[in-house]
Structure 1
Amino acid sequence: MKQHFIAALENRSLDDLRKVPKSDLHNHAGRGGNLKYIEAWANITIQPHSGTFASLGEMQEWFVRSVKSHCPGMEGYLKRIEAAFVQAADDGIELLALSFGIDEIDSLCGMESFIRIMDSLRQRYAPQTAFLPELALDWACNTDAVRARLDDIFAYQWFRSIDICGPELAQPISNFRSIYRKAKSAGLVLKAHTGEFGTADNVLEAAVELELQEVHHGIAAAASPQIMKWLADHHIRLNVCPTSNVMLGRARDYASHPVRTLYDAGVPVTINTDDLLIFNQSVSEEYLNLYLCGLMSAAELNELRECGLRSG
């Protein structure tokens, strides 16, 4: 597939890129679909956001107003999850890590019902895609309350990884230590959002404190050669989302995205969507954006593609 992928980039062919196996390892489930799919279902037109968001709060307000308002209630929620699986199948996503919060489990009346519904949607809409469900905690969550729920959640052996997302550093990273020890004992891959808005030191602290195997975003590490070397030496992979970083003002544009610096330093990196219903760029489009701006060669981007496919 290497030559097919390289040729597709060199020919600037999105159709051919979509046929090549890829991964999407940083995807928030209820935001992982395609706007056109939601438009067709709701019989509306959604104008994609242009320019940058001033903050995560502004991004969330736009999503609620422009997308979520057209997908109300449980029917709308499940349609957005369905859209994420449809998108994965359409874009050649062979490995898909969708993240879900505990509130989503509760909204579907507990783990048994939640698992049955999610597995059914995956089987119907993306049967060829390996599904890697991720448990996402909020940086501002009540860690004691979360800890009390974990034995029940982990007993089903359904989640493959754990993450912390939302506003970084809402509380000390050490507050999550015992939760991550439980997750490690349960065999989950340990991940966390860090270094999206914080510093390189925050990335290192989280990786050491929680024994992370992967970091969502982590682009702030590009400011520190020492921390990049540590990440490379410890094989800590960063799951980066270029358009998300540009639209949230964390990178000026594709041509100056830190993925170049991280790659050159030997840090394992993958390319992902984050919130496709907000940022409106598929995995295939993310690769093409990085190629067209001249940031990375087609062969280098293929290395990132292959890095993602070594998950699972």
Structure 2
Amino acid sequence: MSLSFIEALHLNALDELKRIPKSDLHSHAGRGGNISYIEAWSGAKIEPPGRPFDSLRDMQAWFESNIKIHCRGLQGYLKRIEASFAQAHADRIEVLALSFGLDEISALGGMKTFMGIIDELHRCFAPGTSFFPELSLGRESRIEDILIEMDEVLAYRWFASIDICNDEFAQPIRHFKPIYQMAKAAGLKLRAHVGEFGTPDDVQEAVEELELDEVHHGIAAARSVTVMNWLADHHIRLNVCPTSNILLRLADSYASHPLRKLYDYGVLVTINTDDLLIFNQSVSQEYLNLYQSGLMTAEELDHIRETGLGYVGSLHKHH
């Protein structure tokens, strides 16, 4: 007899949690696998980070010297993508958004080859997972350069959503408006990393300027009742990554994570991994951490889980 999600949380039964359908709507494709999967393939021993990072740059340096060093070149890159799909299968992620950059498309020889390779990895390693590829643009990018590539990328109608990531302070988010207008016209879900390091006002401004459907992170909104109420009223969902926030010093602990406040103000939220190869906590573990810390009840976490799974009806699937 299998346990329900709520029972599995009550019993701290991680193996049971892994058997229950979940979503991961914020995962960077080349970082979405499990450290143990890369260890088994490379034969290397990889120690997870032993301390919080001082910055995104510090985090990237750790990733380069502890993960990428064992996954060199194109073969290493594809192994990390494979690991992301294998992880989704192992943790019963039924709805998966993985983000890819324009440089990754180029590295695999252009959009047609890229799609074929990624779709094949999906079919082989996570056939039961609904896969929603996300186009992720660096906040530091030159807008003119992106615009040159966008027509071809969007013409294939492969990507389900668009995102902006990296340094939130690299340039004003409104610069991306022409790109987001193209993405909207092509039917993509509009998302962006905002309010991770920035302010509550940054979150609202980004949603208004780019007409976002969702926000990756957005936890800064918890510092403003006005912005939380606005997000709740406009049904803007935040894709929250608790361990990422703790290891980047944006939250002190699971027990004091701003997710509690956001949820209490009626903001729609989901629980996600961000960069599993760095932060080393699966979606199931994220739920268990939040429950064991006393931040959320099992019933509340089940409601959040269902919010993530409900995503599927609003997008075209890749099978």
State the TM-score bracket (shorter-chain normalisation): over 0.9
- The CA deviation at 1:174 is 1.2
CA deviations on 1:48-105 (whole Å, 9 max, x unpaired) are 0022000000000000000000000000000000000000000010000000000000
2:23 corresponds in structure 1 to 23
Counterparts of 1:270 and 1:50, CA distance in 2 = 26
1:10 corresponds in structure 2 to 10
1:241 corresponds in structure 2 to 241
The aligned amino acid for 2:202 is N
TM-score (norm 2): 0.97
2:299 corresponds in structure 1 to 299
Instruction: Answer yes or no: is the 8 Å Cα contact 2:3–2:16 preserved in 1.
Output: no
Task: Give the SS at the match of 2:191.
Answer: strand
The aligned amino acid for 1:107 is A
Alignment of 1:224-235 (within 5 A): 224-235=224-235
2:168 corresponds in structure 1 to 168
Counterparts of 1:3 and 1:68, CA distance in 2 = 38
1:90 corresponds in structure 2 to 90
- The CA deviation at 1:169 is 2.3
- Aligned residue pairs total 311
1:146 corresponds in structure 2 to 146
- The CA deviation at 1:173 is 1.1
- Where do 5+ consecutive residues of structure 1 fail to align? none
1:35 corresponds in structure 2 to 35
The aligned amino acid for 2:54 is A
- The CA deviation at 1:148 is 1.4
Alignment of 1:1-312 (within 5 A): 4-312=4-312
- The CA deviation at 1:3 is 6.9
The aligned amino acid for 2:26 is H
Task: Give the SS at the match of 1:168.
Answer: coil
- The CA deviation at 1:159 is 0.1
CA deviations on 1:256-275 (whole Å, 9 max, x unpaired) are 00000000000000000000
CA deviations on 1:162-218 (whole Å, 9 max, x unpaired) are 000000021111110010000000000000000000000000100100000000000
- The CA deviation at 1:117 is 0.2
Displacement over 6 Å in runs of 4+: none
Task: Give the SS at the match of 1:311.
Answer: helix
Task: Give the SS at the match of 1:25.
Answer: strand
Counterparts of 2:189 and 2:215, CA distance in 1 = 11
Task: Give the SS at the match of 2:23.
Answer: strand
TM-score (norm 1): 0.99
Counterparts of 1:297 and 1:212, CA distance in 2 = 29
Of all paired residues, the percent bearing the same amino acid is 60
Counterparts of 1:69 and 1:221, CA distance in 2 = 37
The aligned amino acid for 1:21 is P
Task: Give the SS at the match of 2:140.
Answer: coil
CA deviations on 1:11-61 (whole Å, 9 max, x unpaired) are 100100000000000000000000000000000100100220000000000
